[in-house]
Amino acid sequence: MRPSGRSHDALRPVSLTPGFSRHAEGSCLIRMGNTEVLCAASVEGRVPPFMRNSGQGWVTAEYGMLPRATHTRGEREAARGKQSGRTQEIQRLIGRALRAVVDRSKMGEVTVTLDCDVLNADGGTRCAAITGAWVALSLAFRHMQRMNVIKTLPLIGQVAAVSCGISAGDAVLDLDYAEDSSADADANFVLTDAGGIVEIQGTAERSAFSEAQFLGMLGLARQGVAALFEAQREAVGGA
Amino acid sequence: MRPSGRSHDALRPVSLTPGFSRHAEGSCLIRMGNTEVLCAASVEGRVPPFMRNSGQGWVTAEYGMLPRATHTRGEREAARGKQSGRTQEIQRLIGRALRAVVDRSKMGEVTVTLDCDVLNADGGTRCAAITGAWVALSLAFRHMQRMNVIKTLPLIGQVAAVSCGISAGDAVLDLDYAEDSSADADANFVLTDAGGIVEIQGTAERSAFSEAQFLGMLGLARQGVAALFEAQREAVGGA
Amino acid sequence: MRPSGRSHDALRPVSLTPGFSRHAEGSCLIRMGNTEVLCAASVEGRVPPFMRNSGQGWVTAEYGMLPRATHTRGEREAARGKQSGRTQEIQRLIGRALRAVVDRSKMGEVTVTLDCDVLNADGGTRCAAITGAWVALSLAFRHMQRMNVIKTLPLIGQVAAVSCGISAGDAVLDLDYAEDSSADADANFVLTDAGGIVEIQGTAERSAFSEAQFLGMLGLARQGVAALFEAQREAVGGA
Amino acid sequence: MRPSGRSHDALRPVSLTPGFSRHAEGSCLIRMGNTEVLCAASVEGRVPPFMRNSGQGWVTAEYGMLPRATHTRGEREAARGKQSGRTQEIQRLIGRALRAVVDRSKMGEVTVTLDCDVLNADGGTRCAAITGAWVALSLAFRHMQRMNVIKTLPLIGQVAAVSCGISAGDAVLDLDYAEDSSADADANFVLTDAGGIVEIQGTAERSAFSEAQFLGMLGLARQGVAALFEAQREAVGGA
Amino acid sequence: MRPSGRSHDALRPVSLTPGFSRHAEGSCLIRMGNTEVLCAASVEGRVPPFMRNSGQGWVTAEYGMLPRATHTRGEREAARGKQSGRTQEIQRLIGRALRAVVDRSKMGEVTVTLDCDVLNADGGTRCAAITGAWVALSLAFRHMQRMNVIKTLPLIGQVAAVSCGISAGDAVLDLDYAEDSSADADANFVLTDAGGIVEIQGTAERSAFSEAQFLGMLGLARQGVAALFEAQREAVGGA
Amino acid sequence: MRPSGRSHDALRPVSLTPGFSRHAEGSCLIRMGNTEVLCAASVEGRVPPFMRNSGQGWVTAEYGMLPRATHTRGEREAARGKQSGRTQEIQRLIGRALRAVVDRSKMGEVTVTLDCDVLNADGGTRCAAITGAWVALSLAFRHMQRMNVIKTLPLIGQVAAVSCGISAGDAVLDLDYAEDSSADADANFVLTDAGGIVEIQGTAERSAFSEAQFLGMLGLARQGVAALFEAQREAVGGA
């Protein structure tokens, strides 16, 4: 039995609220159980130096956690004067995940920055951020289309992410904080609606895992993201 | 006529939602019109070095703004590696305001940190932060009381804040961003429910103002905070 | 009786020495009792990015304190790698105060930076900095006039500042460090020679203060700055 | 045909030179083709705060690249004042990988830091660092044993890493820089000599990959690390 | 003929004003021509970690330059967030120079920090700082003696410094800024009143110099410091 | 007898290996006894702002030490977020030394950066860095010549460096770490093959030294660099 009472293949309740940030070109507040991440897409009319005059746009992400999103207060990164290695790792991951489903040659030379800020944390914040950021990004592209900045949506498909773990030898879907802390291994899967794998990050927390266990997690992840893709489509349609 | 259509002495709609941060000992999401600030109080069992062995507690604040809380995206302070002068000024103000209504000799040697994070900004964020932080702090003290850490609430009274401005020569209450940008002068008033002045910050933005204008703003502020005190009491009672 | 033996409405002895910095376009060493601040105005032929092509100039300030200007040695901010919140708050105040009496459309696209460095501190350093910086700025403008860079002085008037406090229930003028440490409240007033208010910063240090007490302080401040305006005129005339 | 002329399942020539750092308790210079990483293990008699009084030791890693290890000179991180996100990601990975094969309850309360510095870079530096760091760590543990600090080697097994990629649709082993830049996807595999998976990081660089492609890469990786385990054993035996 | 009209072996006018910093245990404002450096000695009852329980004291220095001490305004190091390499080089030199004439076993476990801040710069600031810091240090030791913290002065002798240069092939004493900028080589000599050499820093600015030229500079330096030692003794005696 | 058994005028075994960095335009691994420094020259087609449009090139250096180059592990400067004063002092010295033998008017507007990274430290790392950097720089200039970027080598001569010390009253050549730690004084000499002095840094570590002792050290240094010039010529010839 999982601590939350969920079955091994059950996602937490998911909700995607578009438009939470009043000023952003696109935004989405994603809730997966008690994890809440605010994703805001900002469109700016310039690209980083290494992309200039390429005719292509850029998509990047920044990640943060409010100091008291967690059980005990964490130090504010702005006060500490630097972002942790974990923060940088996560924001690089989010950026890569989103770029995998964007045709950047159709964006024009603009940058879309996805700010993903965790308001409440209960495990799986990086996955929630990716899933929510896709909605924010889609809404921002639609905004650009309405403003006649672009003619067609530069999206190749949908991307969403979910974590799985090995708990008591078996694979389980969508870990919350309690499970994440006690799992033997966990993995984050970033997948597309076309069935492709964009990113896999699997880590043995307590002991090395086997190929079979890994494939068990991958199977659950495929099942989990199907529901997330559906929720994304509803959120974008209802914006 | 004010840009928002409000009369010169009208506050924006105010709402105070306690408990938004699931993990914090006390928290409050305050909305004043389109300004939204999440205030979370964290209790930690140690005090800064200069307070050690004083038998007193400490109350402090940190302030932040999500990058896309504003019309155009602002740089993330954690990424930039330092907090702006404005941020530091505001968090020092919030801390002083709260300490003015706390009897720190009755807290025990604990620190309460008020994290005030702006989710959406439309003027008056520092004032909203003070008003909301008082609710978060009160709830945290009640939590400490329930846990038997303290016997009586170490609160001397309520504190709330509101901004006023001089617009076209006249004093107006509770500026939103559009008014704030065009006002000739503005002032932030931090007041107690006993009628005392805790802090006044008045600044001539365009031209110096007169004593009469200043007193006009102070009068409106007194009127405005009365409604905020009422809202605070409801929020705390309903927690 | 005040610790210094002064009456409640007496300034400390004031002296303004122009030209202390040999290389600056304008400079002034201001002494108010045992507080000494060196103010140097530097003219540079460029403006910050947000002012470019505006046809206007910029006036800004930086503030510092020598490590041993104080009773016990303070850490050197350059060694610590960042300026404190207090330093940033003060230098922002000085800049705003000076800009309030400058017609920046008549400066040309130049920046004047006022460096205000405290050599000895005995309370009231930010007020002394503002009063002395006005002299340094005036001398720099005169220098620009002599060099035929500008035709008329872009000064609208004089600005000076003084602190007041509530001590044993009564308002007193121009606090030194001993009084500042024990006052119930204190306020800094930045005023123009035309009687306008440029900035008010009032803070309850021990207990909230009343409107009557606040007006008592404002009255003393008006009286105090009259003498400072006179001293400024002499310093500029005698340069 | 691969740019290097290697077959799809061929590693680059590997050499492991123990003892390159004269002062370190254990060290190894690893060469994989034109990639050279110097790995040095330092034993220090204290653990980080979160491990104190746990009776367990700690193993951590730091990673760096000499500015001219690469085709064009990179900025020196020490001069820039911070480590890049990539650097932090890699050093966190190395630390996790090594900890997976250490029984930290048998180390005593000491910290072993693995410094992995890239002298020449031609792709695969993080994998080379893990493989070389295991040798440095083993030698440091043997040194501790000789010094009678520990009785038995606190090693559970061997760990090594190799990258694979998808190039023209097919899986290839051990990418060099030229291949890495043009691969459709790549993945780093950290594996144990007992056949377990410690970490998987797979990333679609150009387009999402399939499960079959992923399993193709995993199969090559298993084959590749077998040779690395053999080389590690020789290096440690010959120290 | 030198730009200043001085003969090749003439120092600039020197004055040493003790007691400029009101709060410091010892202080001295040194003027060498148009160069002015404020040296303040602070005594604190603790030593750096590496000196703890050694029974010895520590003497160290920090150096700074007011932004407008120079012809054109320099960036404020506190604002820039770090001290330049030049600043660090100079403050390390001052510390070493002073420690060379202190018997630290007689100081007790206290630290004396010499803050040397350049108010006006016209060449030779590091040498002036050393000469002035010796006076500040001596006065601080006398203060400690009067307070009965130490019985005897822990000074072994006097130390002073002067620069020399090679100008048009010949050695000249005590360069001002104009000469320093055009010299072929320059050297700083830190010497004791007993005739010993504490530190020599000779640098070819334009072309390498010969041993004979070097010895010419050393001879002038010996002559120059004799006058500085005399001035130091007067300053200390008259404090 | 010296700890190493060398006679007072004996250098440690020297070897200069060109080409260690595969990507650099010029590089050299220098070994002096157990001290090993990797020097890499990078040519970039731009100059710092203060040199733009001067028609001249720039030569600069950066210095670093691997954390475990030393007996006990030193903190990684990149992790600490800043370079130490010692590091900055040394890299400034290396840059000045190299510029003394370059005719920068013949380089074109390019920058050559010499990265000097200490792989193993046993005293004399800054001197070894200078000697090795000259080889790296020469090879980079030859590379530019082969690429037809420059017609003639912009080198005026050779530069090399060696340290000397006063041990038991007598001058000794080329200190290793053990001697350096116990010497009464030490000095670094940067000399040209034409017999000129480029830089002298002499420091009394324990007690002031005399002119005679200083000249004794200079004599040994002259003798020592003769062998280094010979080794440099061989290394460059054999590249």
CB contact under 8 A, C87 and E78: yes
Say yes or no: D227 contacts chain A, CB-CB below 8 A: no
* Contacting subunits of A (3+ beta carbon pairs below 8 A): B, D
**The predicted structure's pLDDT at residue B207:** 85
Are F78 and D73 within 8 A, CB to CB? no
Instruction: Say yes or no to pLDDT of C21 above 90.
Output: yes
Q: Do B78 and A73 touch (CB under 8 A)?
A: no
Alpha helices, H only, B39-157? 77-80, 85-99, 125-146
Q: What is the mean pLDDT of chain D?
A: 95
Residue of B12, B22, B27, B63 to mutate for A, most A C-beta atoms under 10 A: B22
Evaluate the CA torsion angle D39, D42, D43, D45 in order and state its sign: negative
The pLDDT value recorded for residue B115 is 98
Name the minimum distance, in Å, from the CA of C72 to any CA of chain E: 8
| Residues on chain B touching C96 (C-beta within 8 angstroms) | 203
Tell me which chain F residue has its CA closest to the CA of residue D83: F78
Closest Cα in chain C to E35? C22
Which of C85, C100, C187 is the closest to B92 by Cβ?
A: C85
pLDDT of residue D168: 87
Radius of gyration of chain A (CA): 18
- D160 or D82, greater pLDDT: D160
Of the candidates D23, D69, D76, the beta carbon closest to that of F62 is on D76
Query: How far is Cα D190 from Cα D159, in angstroms, rounded to an integer?
Result: 7
Structure confidence at residue E207 (pLDDT): 85
Check: CB of residue E116 under 8 Å from CB of residue E166: no
CA-CA-CA-CA dihedral for D4, D5, D7, D8, to nearest 10: 40
Residue B239 has pLDDT above 60, yes or no: no
Q: Which two tokens stand for residue D63?
A: 């990673």
Q: Does residue D68 belong to the interface with chain F, where contact is any CB pair within 8 Å?
A: yes
Chain B closest-CA separation from residue C11 CA (Å): 22
Is residue D205 very low, low, confident or very high in pLDDT (cuts 50, 70, 90)? confident
Output the DSSP codes for E226-239: HHHHHHHHHHHHT-
Measure the CA–CA gap between D145 and C2, rounded to whole angstroms.
73
Mutate to test the interface with C, among E29, E73, E90, E117 (most CBs of C within 10 A): E73
Asked if the C-beta of E210 comes within 8 angstroms of chain F's C-beta atoms, the answer is yes
Question: For residue C180, which amino acid is it?
Answer: D
End-to-end CA distance of chain B: 38
- Could E85 and F82 be called an inter-chain contact, meaning their C-beta atoms sit closer than 8 Å? no
- Assess contact for A23 and B70: CB atoms under 8 A: yes
Q: What are A225's two structure tokens? A: 């993201």
Output the pLDDT for position E205.
81
Residue B181 makes CB contacts below 8 A (sequence gap 6+) with: none
| Alpha carbons E43 and E58: distance in angstroms, whole number | 10
Residue C238 has what pLDDT? 57
Q: What is the pLDDT of residues A101-124, one digit of tens each?
A: 999 999 999 999 999 999 999 999
| Backbone phi and psi for residue C186, each to the nearest 5 degrees, phi listed first | -145, 160
pLDDT for F239 beyond 70: no
Angle at C100 between CA C94 and CA C104, to 5 degrees: 110
Is F175 strand, coil or helix?
Answer: coil
The alpha carbon of residue F196 and the mean position of all alpha carbons in its chain are separated, in whole angstroms, by 16
pLDDT grade for A238, boundaries at 50, 70 and 90: low
Taking only the tens place, the pLDDT of each residue in C163-196 is 999 998 899 999 999 999 999 999 999 999 999 9
Tokens standing for residue D43:
């034993």
A25-58 pLDDT, tens digit per residue, is 999 999 999 999 999 999 999 999 999 999 999 9
E194: alpha, beta or left? (left if phi > 0; alpha if psi -120 to 50): alpha
Q: Could you say which of B89, B196, B204 has the minimum Cβ distance to residue C209?
A: B196
| Residue C89 contacts B where some CB pair is shorter than 8 Å | yes
If contacts are CB pairs under 8 Å, which of residues 101-160 in chain D contact chain A? Answer: none
Q: What are the angstrom distances between the C-alpha of A129 and each of C140, E54, F105?
A: 54, 55, 55
Kindly determine whether residue B201 and residue C197, on different chains, have CB atoms separated by under 8 Å. no
**Residue B199 has which token pair?**
């802090």
Whether the CB-CB separation of C2 and C179 falls below 8 Å is answered with yes
**C-alpha distances out from residue C42 to A139, E69, E77, Å:** 49, 11, 16
Could you tell me which residues are beta bridge partners of residue A155? A102
How many CB atoms sit inside 10 A of residue A214's CB?
A: 22
Nearest to A78 among B34, B68, B78 (CB): B78
Residue type, D228: L
**What pLDDT is recorded for position B238?**
57
Across chain C, mean pLDDT equals 95
How close B201 comes to chain C (CA, Å)? Answer: 5
Q: Which residues of F touch D22 (CB under 8 A)?
A: 34, 120, 122
The predicted pLDDT at position C239 comes to: 46
Flag if E214 and F197 touch (Cβ within 8 Å): yes
Q: CA F128 to CA F53: how far, in whole Å?
A: 34
d(CA B17, CA B20): 7
From CA B201, how far away is CA B92, in angstroms rounded?
13
Any residues with CB less than 8 A from the CB of D114 and at least 6 apart, and which? D39, D40, D41, D59, D60, D61, D62, D94, D95, D98, D133, D136, D137
For residue B81, the chain A residues in CB contact (below 8 A) are 81-82
Contacts of D84 in chain A (CB under 8 A): 88
Q: Which of F70, F184, F64, F61 is nearest to F123 (CA)?
A: F70
How distant is the Cα of D35 from the closest Cα of chain F, in angstroms? Answer: 10
Q: Do F68 and D120 touch (CB under 8 A)?
A: no
Q: Whole-angstrom Cα distance, residue D2 to residue C232? A: 80
D133's CB contacts (< 8 A; 6+ apart) are D28, D39, D41, D61, D94, D97, D98, D114, D116
- Regarding an ipTM greater than 0.85, the answer is yes
CA nearest to E83 within chain C? C78
pLDDT digits (tens, 9 = 90+) for D26-45: 999 999 999 999 999 999 99
Stretch A50-73: mean pLDDT, rounded?
Answer: 96
Any E CB within 8 A of C85 CB: no
Alpha-helical segments (H) within chain C: 77-80, 85-99, 125-146, 177-182, 211-237
How many inter-chain contacts (C to E, CB under 8 Å) are there? Answer: 103
Q: What is the pLDDT of residues B195-225, one digit of tens each?
A: 999 999 999 988 899 999 999 999 999 999 9
Instruction: Determine the Cα angle at C225 with ends C222 and C230, to 5°.
Output: 135
Residue F209 CB-half CA count within 13 A = 28
| Residue found by looking up tokens 């980079």 in the block | F140
Interchain CB contact of F210 with E (< 8 Å): yes
CB of C71 less than 8 A from some CB of E: yes
Q: Which two tokens stand for residue B168?
A: 């076209």
Calpha distance B189→B221 (Å, rounded): 7
Does residue C194 belong to the interface with chain B, where contact is any CB pair within 8 Å? yes
pLDDT digits (tens, 9 = 90+) for D162-201: 999 999 889 999 999 999 999 999 999 999 999 999 999 9
Ranges of chain E whose pLDDT falls below 70: 238-239
- Of C74, C75, C47, the closest CA to residue C59 belongs to C47
Distance of CA A10 to the CA centre of its chain: 19
CB F138 within 8 A of CB F190: no
Terminal Cα distance for chain E, rounded? 38
Alpha helix ranges (H) inside E61-168: 77-80, 85-99, 125-146
C1, pLDDT greater than 90: no
User: Is F88 close to E85, i.e. CB distance below 8 A?
Assistant: yes
**From its phi and psi, is residue E98 left (phi > 0), alpha (psi between -120 and 50) or beta?**
alpha
Q: What is the CA radius of gyration of chain C?
A: 18
Whole-number percent of chain D with pLDDT over 70: 99
Q: What percent of chain A has pLDDT over 70?
A: 99
- Band (C108; pLDDT cuts 50, 70, 90): very high
* Phi, psi (deg, nearest 5) at residue D229: -60, -40
pLDDT, residue A239, reads: 46
CB D116 within 8 A of CB D63: yes
Q: Decide if F135 contacts F26 (C-beta within 8 A).
A: yes
Q: What is the pTM of this model?
A: 0.91
Residues 6+ apart with CB under 8 A from C218: B211, C164, C187, C189, C200
Look up tokens 């130090």; give the residue: A75
Partner-chain residue, chosen from A73, A81, A117, that has the shortest CB–CB distance to B82: A81
Best CA proximity match to F163, nearest among F19, F61, F35, F20: F35
Nearest residue to B23 via CA among E97, C111, A74: A74
Q: Which two tokens stand for residue A8?
A: 């091994």
Contact C67 E115 (CB under 8 A): yes
The mean predicted confidence, pLDDT, of chain F is 95
E181 and chain F in contact, CB less than 8 A: no
Inform me whether the pLDDT recorded for C207 exceeds 90.
no
* Nearest to E177, CA basis, from E38, E29, E91, E69: E69
pLDDT in tens, E39-87: 999 999 999 999 999 999 999 999 999 999 999 999 999 999 999 999 9
Q: List C-alpha distances in Å: C176 to A145, B99, F46.
A: 63, 24, 55
CA distance D232 to D131: 8
Smallest CA–CA distance from C74 into chain E, residue: E42
Compute φ and ψ for A59, nearest 5 degrees: -125, 125
Q: Chain C residue with minimal CA distance to E77?
A: C78
**Tokens (6 digits) for C159:** 């600005």
CB-based contact E62 C67, cutoff 8 Å: yes
Alpha helices in chain F (DSSP H): 77-80, 85-99, 125-146, 177-182, 211-237
For residue F157, which phi and psi values (nearest 5 degrees)? 180, -165
Q: How confident is the model over C69-103, as pLDDT tens digits?
A: 999 999 999 999 999 999 999 999 999 999 999 99
Answer yes or no: do F76 and D64 touch at CB < 8 A.
yes
Q: Measured between beta carbons, which residues in chain D are less than 8 angstroms from residue F86?
A: none
> Under 8 Å CB-to-CB from C197, ≥6 apart: which residues?
B202, B204, B208, B209, B210, B211, B214, C189, C190, C191
Of F91, F192, F211, the CB nearest to E197: F211
**For residues F125 and F113, what is the distance between their CA atoms, to the nearest angstrom?**
18
* Subunit contact A91:D85, Cβ cutoff 8 A: yes
**CA separation, residue D10 to residues D32, D223, D224 (Å):** 12, 9, 8
Question: Is the CB of E197 less than 8 angstroms away from the CB of F208?
Answer: yes
Q: Does D205 touch chain F (CB under 8 A)?
A: no
